[in-house]
Copies of this chain bind each other. A is one copy, B any other.
Amino acid sequence: MRITALAGGVGGARFLRGLLTHLGRVPELSGATVTVIGNTGDDINLFGLRVCPDLDTVLYTLGGGIHEGQGWGRDGETHAVQAELAAYGATPQWFGLGDKDFGTHIVRSQWLGQGLTLSEVTARLAARWGLPHRGVTLLPMSDSPVETHVVVDEGEGPRAVHFQEWWVRMRAAVPAQRFIAVGMDRAVAAPGVLDAIREADVVLLPPSNPVVSIGIILGVPGVRDALRGTTAPVVGVSPLIGGAPVRGHADACLTAIGVESTTRAVAGLYADFLDGWLVDDADAEFAASPGRLAVRARPLLMSDVDAAADIAGAALQLAGELRPTTPAV
């Protein structure tokens, strides 16, 4: 079974880890492969290095190197490099990078500087984290640089800041007026991205941010058309529980694009291609409403790997119901 998933950062990565755990538990799914299309709109140049937070969160989480409590960054980190950069007065200082994490950014920047594409670099990084061995291919959504910028007004008129500055420095507390995907007009889907959607047996949308993660990937030319055109069932997992994000600032992002913070409204963003939608029991009334979309309610809190595995299993189950030719789970 070929599974393709679109993923942002922490929520997406934890869902994917659950998915791999589930696949490992079900003998009939032992040959399944997973292609992850990662958001690169969060990418940022820091200290002259290319940082890809969402791709790294997927790599570290699936590879066993993640800081479990944070959900991002490496476990057992030290911060000698960052302290030196601060001593030299290098900016910005609001984005914390650990020493192990710097290793990733340095080698990525080195390889990009040698002329490799982000896809090629990501494949090399993924090899170190054992992803190919587990049947996982991580593809950046595009090899062209796309950066999500956020228009904010801190009292001196509107200005655009990098997504990370809004997310990390401002903690998304300053209202976002709108998002701009800088470079998207020139972006091309990375090699394999569109085929992975078209040729999948199942397409999954993990509970990633619908605006700045999934929404950005959907903006890559061809991705939305591929989702509309694929014969695979497309099943999503709601990132909201009772109208609130489990973590992150999805509500602030939805407000900025004029969409209500409800699981129904999020499903509406995907209405043109979504076949199945998992919602939390807290949103069970939506599951009962009539319509084309197959909605199922169940607990969606990914409190640990087992919980995430069960959610992933439920998503595959729903996909199986929607497309009987999909191998039974």
Interface residues of A (CB under 8 A from B): 47-49, 77-78, 80-85, 87-90, 98-100, 102-104, 106-107, 109-110, 113-114, 124-125, 128
Contacts and interface: CB of A to CB of B under 8 A. Distances in A.
B81 A103 contact: yes
A128 B81 contact: no
A328 to B, nearest CB: 39
Give 8 closest A-B pairs by Cβ, nearest first.
A84-B103, A48-B110, A80-B99, A90-B107, A88-B107, A48-B113, A81-B103, A47-B110
A112 to B, nearest CB: 8
A227 to B, nearest CB: 33
Contact of A48 (B80, B104, B109, B124): B109
Contacts of A125: 88
A279 to B, nearest CB: 40
A89 B125 CA distance: 9
Given A81-B99, A99-B78, A49 B128 contact: no
Contacts of A103: 80-85, 87-88
Contacts of A107: 47, 84-85, 88, 90
A20 to B, nearest CB: 21
Nearest to A90: B107
A84 B125 CA distance: 11
Contact of A100 (B48, B84, B109): B84
A84 B104 contact: yes
A56 to B, nearest CB: 12
Given A87-B128, A125-B88, A80 B100 contact: yes
A128 B78 contact: no
